[in-house]
Structure 1
Amino acid sequence: MKKAAKLAVVAAAPILMAALWMDEQPSYKPYRAPVLSPPAGSVPVSGREVIPQGGELKNPLLPTAASLAEGKTFFEINCALCHGMTSAERGPVGRKLTPPPPGLDSEMVRGLSDATIFRAITFGFGRMPQFREKLTPRERWSLVNFLRTRK
C-alpha cells in the first residue's frame, strides 16, 4: 500500500508543478477586443467621442458669461485641488506633490493653444489624470475659456 501511495505522489508531481506555473504563462485573451484606430473621417458608433491626436482643434464655444461661469465651476471642482486658485499657491493636493503642478495662470499656459489645453484636459499627461470620461467636450471647452480669462 505504501508503494502505491508513493507511486501516485511521484506520478502526480509533474501535474501539480505545471498547475503552479500556469498563472505565469503569457496567454491570449480571447475576449479582449483589439485596439484599432478608426478610419479617417469615420463617425463613431460606440457613442464615445473621438479626438484626433494630430491636427488643430477649434474651440466651438464663445467665451460668454455662461461658458466662463461653467468653466470656473469645473476649475474649482477638478483643477484647483492640485493647481490652486492662483499661481502663487498650489491647492492642498498640489502642495504634497514634488515637483508641484504648474499654476494655470502662468505665462507657459497663456502661450498654449486652445487645442493643446483641451487635449491636456482630455488625455491628461504626466501625473495629471485624463478628464475624458469625467467632463463632456462642451464642459472641457468651457474650462479652456475660463483658463484664458485668468490673470
Structure 2
Amino acid sequence: MKKITLAIALLIAPAVAQAWPWSKDMSEQISIKPQESVDPDHPGMEPYPEHSIPVPGTTSFVQDMDGADKQKNPVPATQKSVEFGGRLFGIYCTPCHGYAGKGDGLVGQKLVLQPYNLTADHAKGVSDGYIWGMMTFGGAVMPSYANDLSPTERWNVVNYVRKVLQQGGTVQANVNGR
C-alpha cells in the first residue's frame, strides 16, 4: 500500500508544481514577438524610412511553380552575374549536378532518380523562371534552396546555367571556389 501511495504522490507532484512537459512556459515567456516593438509607446513595426523605394529584382512573391515559370529574369546576364552564379553553382549545385551540369555529381550518382541534366536539349527549352522555381521550391529529389540563396542569387545561378553550361561560354573567375 505504501508503494501505491508513493507512486500516486510522485505522479501528482509535477501537476501541483505545474511542471508538466506540455506546460506553456516557453510560449508564454517574456520575449519580443516578430514585428513587435520594444517601445510600448510605439507598438508594431517601424515604418519604412522616408523616401525609401523597393529595389527591383531582389524580392519575389511567387507561390508555386506555375508562377515561377512565368517570371522573367530581372538580373542581366553580365560577366559579374555569371561569375557570381558560377561560384554559387560550385557550392550548392555541383554535388548533385556535377561541374558540367550533366547530373553526374558525386551525390547525384548515389540517388535513385538521377539529377536533371542542365545541358540537355529539353533543359534548354525551359524558361529561366522554371529553373529559378526549381531552386526555390525543389523537386522530386532536389531540395529547396530558398532559405540558402536569395532570389537575386538564384537568378545569378540561372544566368550561369544559361551562359556557361548551356551555351558553352566561359567565365574569367574560377567557379569551383578554389
Counterpart of 2:90 in 1: which secondary structure? helix
Aligned: 1:124 with 2:141: no
TM-score, normalised to structure 2, is: 0.57
Deviation at 1:63, TM superposition (A): 0.9
Deviation at 1:88, TM superposition (A): 5.1
TM-score, normalised to structure 1, is: 0.66
* Distance in 2 separating the partners of 1:126 and 1:106: 19
* Distance in 2 separating the partners of 1:84 and 1:7: 65
Q: Deviations over 1:114-144 (max 9, x none)?
A: 1111111112122212111211221110111
- Could you tell me which runs of 5 or more consecutive residues in structure 2 were left unpaired when the two chains were aligned: 28-32, 34-46, 48-58, 167-178
Equivalent pairs, count: 127
Contact 2:73 2:128 in 1 (8 A): yes
* Distance in 2 separating the partners of 1:7 and 1:105: 72
Choose 63-72 or 81-90, whichever is displaced more.
Answer: 81-90
2:76 matched residue in structure 1 = 62
Aligned equivalent of 2:114, options 97, 100, 123: 100
Aligned: 1:147 with 2:167: no
Q: Hey, which bits of structure 1, 4+ residues long, moved more than 6 A?
A: none
**Counterpart amino acid of 2:97?**
H
2:42 matched residue in structure 1 = none
Supply the RMSD in Å over aligned alpha carbons: 3.4
- Percent identity over the alignment is 33
1:8 matched residue in structure 2 = 5
Deviation at 1:90, TM superposition (A): 0.7
1:138 matched residue in structure 2 = 152
2:97 matched residue in structure 1 = 83
Contact 2:85 2:159 in 1 (8 A): yes
Larger proportion of helix:
1
- Could you tell me which runs of 5 or more consecutive residues in structure 1 were left unpaired when the two chains were aligned: 34-44
Aligned: 1:52 with 2:59: no
Counterpart of 1:59 in 2: which secondary structure? coil
Alignment CA distance shift 1:61-1:89 (3 Å): closer
